[in-house]
Structure 1
Amino acid sequence: MAKKEISAGGVVYRKENGELHIQLILDRYGKISLAKGKMEPGETIEQTALREIEEETGVIGEIISPVDIIAYTYYNSVHGEVDKEVHYYLVEAKAGQLKPQIEEINEVAWYDPHEAWSRQQQGGYDNNNRILHKALTLLEVDL
């Protein structure tokens, strides 16, 4: 039976002077992505999402709503097949300063929603299209 692994993260947004911004990261593979990471013992999935966002990007957020779950299987040289689930939430930035966790990601920045969508389409992971699209719909952004 495959090992199960749960990760969580979020589509982080902020509203500044009436402007909506979406946070995107550039991961260590040079791809556009969303902050996320593995669940630690004793954590809820929501706690994992908020901790990982803070660790990777420096932003302290608040979960507004679930977005969706991506599920896939990958091969690990130690454990063999791993069934992975990544839970994504819509997260509003409340505090903190943008600061990439250099060990994990290359950069983090805020983008206008349409710019964020276009960057995701051009340089992101395909399975994140659905996540970002759903999050933008929740934020009432017309693409």
Structure 2
Amino acid sequence: MANRHLSRSIVLQALFEWDLNAVDKKDVIDILDRNIEEFAQNKTDRPFMEKLLTGILSKQPELDLVISKAAPEWPIDRISPVDRNILRLGLYELLFSERSEVPAKVAINEAIELAKQFGGDNSSRFVNGVLGAVYKEIGEPGKEEQSKRRKKEVPFDQMPIERLSGAVVYAEENGEMYFALVHDIFGHWTLSKSKVADAETVEQGAMRALKEEIGLPVEIEAELGNNEYIATQPEKGKVRKQVHYFLAKAPYQELVLAKKGGLDDARWFRVADILALNFYEDILPIVTKAITMLVGRRSK
């Protein structure tokens, strides 16, 4: 672990120099190699360092957005270069690293240690606060890791299934078509969805989700398709989440975002603007299908 801590320190130094001197991202590997030559007697950890550094740089806009959401009173350019790059490093490991390689608590603790080593008097407390807030927001992964390790691996076909439903919501106003989307703290525009209650149909679940999440009464018009992914929950372990998406029509009215974790905005968008937004990979095909369906209706 001591060697891995040194590796993170070397990556942090490369990030600091890149940030402070406005170095082109494609030249940062040269900085890394220079630092490895100077500080790392054993160069066997170079693949880890390069992967970590290039990963952070590739995700920098998303990481900065998460920082700004988790610490809104501290604009990114007001955070010291050391602290903001420690946050970028810690957040990258917390959000994007393989959990088996870097458990969430390790990512946070390593960042705190870097803050103690390289930051100011209050750096470690600041880093701990920001990363701790994000850790809670994403469901405290790894909190019950020891108990999970004692459980046998559950085959895919035996995992519990959780049904969710949501919708691509559109409205028409003055000859224009608008779509209602929600924005999460990780910088993506996405669709309102909710867990389907035992007594509900998936259509009813979607209608309730939209009413509760953004205050819209909707009418379900068509089914758009399903997504499925595996999530890990502290109480249940691995769960298959099956999401049913619909096309729904709503009145063009003010969106009222419910105060709930994970979302920070809700807006209407015109068709011309919607495909330029930052979507999750599994959401974009659903939205595209809805737009294609509606445009096809108008052309008839």
SS in 2 for 1:43: coil
| Matches of 2:252 and 2:272, distance apart in 1 | 24
Which protein, 1 or 2, shows the higher relative CO under an 8 Å CA cutoff with sep ≥ 6? 1
- Aligned twin of 1:106: 264
Q: Give the C-alpha shift of residue 97 in structure 1.
A: 3.6
* Paired residues, number: 139
Q: Give the C-alpha shift of residue 96 in structure 1.
A: 5.8
- Aligned twin of 1:76: 233
- Change in 2 beyond 3 A, CA 1:8/1:77: same
- Backbone CA RMSD of aligned residues: 1.7
Q: Give the C-alpha shift of residue 69 in structure 1.
A: 0.4
- Contact 1:8/1:36 (8 A) holds in 2: yes
| Matches of 1:94 and 1:49, distance apart in 2 | 16
Q: TM-score, normalised by structure 1?
A: 0.90
Q: Percent identity, aligned pairs only?
A: 31
Write the mapping of 1:85-96 to structure 2, written as runs, cut at 5 A: 85-94=242-251
Q: Is residue 144 of structure 2 the alignment partner of residue 17 of structure 1?
A: no
- Contact 1:62/1:94 (8 A) holds in 2: no
Q: Which amino acid aligns with 2:227?
A: I
| Matches of 2:227 and 2:209, distance apart in 1 | 17
- Contact 1:60/1:96 (8 A) holds in 2: no
Write the mapping of 1:59-70 to structure 2, written as runs, cut at 5 A: 59-70=216-227
Structure number with the higher strand fraction is: 1
- Aligned twin of 1:133: 288
- Contact 2:173/2:252 (8 A) holds in 1: no
SS in 1 for 2:217: strand
Which stretch of the first structure deviates more once superposed, 66-75 or 22-31? 22-31
Greater Cα radius of gyration, structure 1 or 2: 2
Which stretch of the first structure deviates more once superposed, 49-58 or 103-112? 103-112
* The one of 196, 202, 207 aligned to 1:45: 202
| Matches of 1:96 and 1:17, distance apart in 2 | 13
Displacement over 3 Å in runs of 4+:
94-97
| Matches of 1:96 and 1:48, distance apart in 2 | 21
Which stretch of the first structure deviates more once superposed, 59-68 or 98-107? 98-107
Q: Which amino acid aligns with 1:21?
A: Y
Which stretch of the first structure deviates more once superposed, 7-16 or 91-100? 91-100
| Matches of 2:192 and 2:231, distance apart in 1 | 19
| Matches of 1:134 and 1:95, distance apart in 2 | 21
Q: TM-score, normalised by structure 2?
A: 0.44
SS in 1 for 2:226: strand
Q: Which amino acid aligns with 2:285?
A: R
- Structure 2: tracts of 5 or more residues without a match: 1-157
- Change in 2 beyond 3 A, CA 1:67/1:49: same
- Contact 2:207/2:219 (8 A) holds in 1: yes
Q: Give the C-alpha shift of residue 61 in structure 1.
A: 0.5
| Matches of 2:253 and 2:176, distance apart in 1 | 18
| Matches of 1:95 and 1:113, distance apart in 2 | 14
Structure number with the higher helix fraction is: 2
| Matches of 2:293 and 2:231, distance apart in 1 | 30
| Matches of 2:236 and 2:186, distance apart in 1 | 23
| Matches of 2:274 and 2:248, distance apart in 1 | 15
- Aligned twin of 1:124: 279
